Amino acid sequence: MTRVERRHRAPLAGHPRSAPAPWVLATASWLTTVDHKRIGILYGVTAFAFFLLGGLEALVIRLQLAAPGAHVVSAGTYNALFTMHGTTMVFLAIMPLNAAFFNYMVPLLIGARDVAFPRLNALSYWIFLVGGLFLNASFLAGTPPDVGWFGYANLTSKQFSPTQGVDFWLLSLLILGVSSMIAAINFIVTILNMHAPGMRLMRMPVFVWMTLVVQFLIVLAFPPITVGLIFLMFDRFFSTHFYDVAAGGDLHLWQHLFWIFGHPEVYILILPAFGIVSEVLPTFARKPLFGAPVVIYSGVLIGFFGFGVWSHHMFAAGMGPVADAAFSVATMLIAIPTGVKIFNWLATLWGGTIRATTALHFAVGLVGLFTIGGLSGIMHASPPVDLQQTDSYFVVAHLHYVLIGGSLFGLFAGAYYWWPKMTGRFLDERLGKLNFWILFAGFNTTFFPQHYLGAIGMPRRIYTYAEATGWTLWNAVSTVGAFGIAAGVLVFMVNAWRSLRAGAPAPADPWDGRTLEWRTSSPPPPHDFDTIPPILGRDTFWREKYGPRGVPPAPAHERIHLPAPSHWPVVVGLGMAVSAVGALTHGTIVLVGALVTVVGIFRFALEHHRTPAHAHQIGGLGLDHRKVAMWVFLGSECFLFGTLIATYLAYRGKSVVGPEPHEILNIPLTTISTFDLLMSSLLMVLALAAVERDDRRQARLWLFGTAFFGLIFLGFQAWEFTQFVGEGLTLQRNLFGSTFFVLTGFHGGHVTVGVVWLLSLWLLDLRGRLGATDAVKVEVAGLYWHFVDVVWIVIFTLVYLIP
């Protein structure tokens, strides 16, 4: 047994471990940690702080509406409060609280010692922290965003929002999107490629499955909103015309891009809670989850159908009867897999040996409350009903029954369930049940009356109302309930504080659990498991404890690799923060921040060039993590460029002024540059072959040749842009200029990244640090380069060859 193993050897299941000391978050080890469990804790603590901030904003909103004609805050402040409340709760509270459980529990649940990319995992947290702090810095700057959390155009234009509030909002969401994308790729690779040998996909716990579906939703749903935010940024910073009706733009473009993301986002928020409930109920009913494969399939179907229902948010936008009918039917269909889960959970409880723990209370509370929210959601599948209820408090009630009655109650169930595993101490069950009942009563008191308020005509986003409306009583009741929710959260905070200070020590398996996280100590050692656990089927740990005799012995002990801590994720996050600040102040600061970010990325990438923490697979697909990650990333890039191209096609021919494309595009010149870029792909193939056979001279030649051909392409593109500007076509000229320059410019940016990547590999080869064992690095770069070339073929065909 190695020294690391002796130091971190886990006690036998069922025996308490010595009480852990309280965490000291201020130590340097927390700044440089790459341990997935510590990063999970960082996510949880940070997200809970933002949750409290969002809750305070909600309390001020409810105080303002408690009585007619109130003057607690001004109309402008009220607009800022509901904008920040919605944005904070969705992006800074619920999503990262889910991420806290993803980080801490997923490797334990699949029998892995870490995530696939530990340092990328750390980077995702620090970028998330930067985005959250930057958004809330708008309060300090005196210009918080005040356009609603969905930021409808053209309210977000410079004409109607001349302050920097919208700039804070869009830049912070772009930063948070980067964090979410990095984390999603990391978890997809971890789940697919690092589950313990024998844990086939259908043996994975339901929480892991819901995590996997959520990560694919993030990878595929975030590109459209990213493109929408990029368009908004260009409109505000560079005077383009994406959302300018006078120039031929269409305000529906923003709505489509936002809700193509926005409805999958609902399932990004709720599916992790479904996964938690699917773990909690079997444990405390002491029986397997009823129809577990069906629950898994229904979760996958929810994710799939989630991309086909976005326009039910737009029934009032005048899309026409055909579109309304199609999205109405799709909305009704998605209720089927959701309803299946409800019946599976109830069947799990039926006939079980129920232990009424706090975690079970919250799980059952989710089943009941989410059912109410789902029923009101089905109402909105009918366009006439939706038109009646759109922008009313009925929709506010529906949303909160889904996201509080669903997501938040699920998160509390997970907190009470996994708290002993994460801290080594129990939460107090009496305080926990008090927490549940206060929160349950406060929640229903707050939001159930809002169904009635909406039905009698109270609209959303109003900051005051007249006494004659008849809304006074139920607004007062709703405000009382909101403070009940606050009291319930306060009870949880007291319970958590008491647990951390002097809670009862928890053994490794305090609930007689069914899954692998209960097989190791509480809290787990840095390496999670001394030996990779045996997989006997679904609920493998339960089978190991209570199954037939003759359980196979644990695998032979293997070398434990603990990835080294790194400070470069913090540096990259700081660089992005400086760039964001510079975007609102001075261009020089942007360049300084970009320089820090680029240097940090290079040092981050080369920190463990020869000893990457992700080089070791223990199971799963058996593929290199980096190749799987690149394929996932390229899938996301397909949606990014697909959205850019679709926007170009939708706006083609709609320019009000300026030259037409056929009058200005230089097809012969672009044909030559296209041929140059395609030939670079051939050189990339030769470079990979040379590296694989360890022919360093040929490898250097073809790597440099590929990069050189890329530089030639960029030179052609720069010359073409210069010619266009000389002929009067600029970003600001018309819709064609806006869409053309953004589309081709973003492709050029991807080519630039590829050139820098190839030159970095070339320099590594010159220094003797790129051999046959590093061929996968060149292969991954080649996948990216070939993708960029294929995208250009599509752009060239649609923009240059089709009139």
For 21, other C-beta atoms within 10 Å of its C-beta total 6
Candidates 149, 416, 511, 568; catalytic one: 149
Candidates 57, 87, 88, 114; catalytic one: 114
Known catalytic residue at 267: yes
Known catalytic residue at 278: yes
Q: Three-state SS for 259?
A: helix
For 326, other C-beta atoms within 10 Å of its C-beta total 15
Known catalytic residue at 15: no
Classify the C-alpha dihedral 334-412-23-2 as positive or negative: negative
Known catalytic residue at 312: yes
Known catalytic residue at 114: yes
Q: Three-state SS for 425?
A: strand
End-to-end CA distance of the chain: 70
Q: Which residues of 691-711 are buried (b: 16+ CB within 10 A; e: fewer)?
A: beeeebeebbbbbbbbbbbbb
Candidates 38, 62, 241, 341; catalytic one: 341
Candidates 43, 254, 267, 474; catalytic one: 267
Known catalytic residue at 179: yes
Strands (E), 567-693: none
Structure tokens at 99: 């991420």
Candidates 87, 179, 298, 579; catalytic one: 179
Helices and strands of the chain, counted as H and E runs: 26, 0
Instruction: Give the Cα separation of 585 and 568 in Å (integer).
Output: 26
Q: Read out DSSP for 51-76?
A: HHHHHHHHHHHHHHHSSTT--SS-HH
Known catalytic residue at 265: yes
- Of 74, 130, 121, 120, the closest CA to residue 100 belongs to 121
Known catalytic residue at 341: yes
Instruction: Give the Cα separation of 723 and 710 in Å (integer).
Output: 20
508 Cβ partners below 8 Å, 6+ apart? 10, 11, 12, 13, 14, 15, 17, 518, 519, 520, 521, 522
Any bridge partners for residue 425, and if so which? Answer: 505
Count CA atoms closer than 13 A to 215's CA, side-chain side: 24
Known catalytic residue at 180: yes
Candidates 119, 195, 203, 312; catalytic one: 312
What Rg do the C-alpha atoms of the chain give, in angstroms?
Answer: 27
Q: Which residues of 659-681 are buried (b: 16+ CB within 10 A; e: fewer)?
A: bebeebbeeeebeebbebbbbbb
Residue 425: φ, ψ to 5°: -135, 155
Instruction: Give the Cα separation of 249 and 655 in Å (integer).
Output: 8
Q: What are the C-alpha distances in Å from 129 to residues 180, 396, 765?
A: 12, 28, 36
Candidates 8, 158, 252, 460; catalytic one: 460
Candidates 38, 236, 313, 361; catalytic one: 313
Candidates 36, 37, 38, 85; catalytic one: 85
Q: Read out DSSP for 356-411?
A: --HHHHHHHHHHHHHHHHHHHHHHTTSHHHHHHHTTBHHHHHHHHHHIIIIIIHHH
Instruction: Give the Cα separation of 581 and 175 in Å (integer).
Output: 12
Q: Do you find a cis peptide bond into 523, omega within 30 degrees of 0?
A: yes
Candidates 338, 357, 566, 579; catalytic one: 338
Yes or no: say if 722 and 739 are a contact pair by the CB < 8 Å rule: no
Known catalytic residue at 521: no
Known catalytic residue at 460: yes
Known catalytic residue at 35: no
State the Cα angle at 468 between 465 and 472, rounded to 5°. Answer: 60
For 140, other C-beta atoms within 10 Å of its C-beta total 8
592 Cβ partners below 8 Å, 6+ apart? 578, 582
- Of 683, 634, 662, 625, the closest CA to residue 790 belongs to 634
- Of 184, 386, 200, 358, the closest CA to residue 272 belongs to 184
Q: What are the C-alpha distances in Å from 609 to residues 120, 243, 519, 571, 602?
A: 14, 45, 34, 18, 11
User: Which of the residues are catalytic?
Assistant: 85, 114, 149, 179-180, 263, 265, 267, 278, 312-313, 338, 341, 460
